[in-house]
Amino acid sequence: MSYRTLDAGDAALTIEFGSVIDPALLAAVNALDAAVLQLQQDGGLPGVIETMPTFRSLTVFFDPLATDRDTVLAALQPLIAVAEHGAPAAGRHWRLPVCYEGEAAPDLAEVARTLGMTEGEVVALHSGTEYLVYMLGFLPGFPFMGDLPERLRLPRRSQPRVRVPAGSVAIATGLTAIYPWESPGGWHLLGRCPVSLFDARRASPSLLAAGDRVRFSPVSADECRAIEAGLREGRIDPMQWLDASEPMNSAAEHAA
């Protein structure tokens, strides 16, 4: 695997492993990110402030008054060589509830018509696929997840929405995502996930992380509301969907 180094101003540099969305590139990015963090903790990267991983690159930010580009790059070189051959990180597995009904799924019917499928087929295909979290971005906790089945791939909407409700589960191109916050957006909305993906009060504010794997479990509108109420009132722990083995409707029953 080849890489290139890009300058990002006078206080950051980017290590770019490729130009596509691919699990192998993600593995290299995550391996380098973990190695940089470990070296920081060991005191071997003075002046480095933080890192920013993406689909295919890692940007390293540093204090130019404490170090310089060449020093940082020299420290990174042996880490890059190892990261290029790194195995995929052992991410966590999640099974998140999603309501694919009514107002929670404003684009489902249109997507089904466009793709020549029934709404049930779209839901079955979308919820029957395991997705890899490639990166977080755009909004705090917003997960870019792939790879969407070929039959579900559509370009972004020609007319973006000014307001996309928080929790909306959406698709565009080869990706699927969940909007943690209300925001503008141009993806196709297939459903709603009641589980909050970002909470600043948690030790790790973002529920998901790059390298995690996610499946969706369809729930009814009533079940979705019950889960939301349980989470809001503190009667349900969002971590229960980590490596969940119980049916999603049992979570709604616990919340009732």
Residue 155 included in any domain: yes
- Does residue 74 belong to any structural domain of this protein? yes
Cα first-last separation, the chain? 52
One domain for residues 38 and 151 = no
Same domain, 210 and 242: yes
The pLDDT, as a whole number, for residue 92 is 94
Residue 88 covered by a domain: no
Domain count, the chain: 2
58 and 152 both lie in a single domain: no
Residue 100: which of 232, 167, 190, 195 has the closest Cα?
190
Instruction: Classify residue 215: in a domain, yes or no.
Output: yes
DSSP 152-179: G-BPPPSS-EEEE-TTEEEEEBTEEEE-
187 lies in the same domain as 73: no
pLDDT digits (tens, 9 = 90+) for 60-106: 999 999 999 999 999 999 999 888 876 666 789 999 999 999 999 99
What's the pTM value of the predicted model, to 2 decimals? 0.84
pLDDT at 247: 41
Q: Return the DSSP state at 55.
A: S
Write the pLDDT tens digit of every residue in 127-178.
999 999 999 999 999 999 999 999 999 999 999 999 999 999 999 999 999 9
- The verdict on 119 and 71 lying in the same domain is no
Instruction: Please tell me the predicted confidence (pLDDT) of residue 250.
Output: 38
Instruction: Report pLDDT digits (tens) over 175-231.
Output: 999 999 999 999 999 999 999 999 988 888 999 999 999 999 999 999 999 999 999
Distance in angstroms (rounded) separating the CA atoms of residues 136 and 107 = 24
**What is the extent of the structural domain holding 109?**
93-255
Residue at 143 is within a domain: yes
The per-residue pLDDT for 143 is: 97
Query: Which string of DSSP letters, residue by residue, matches 31-51?
Result: HHHHHHHHHHHTT-STTEEEE
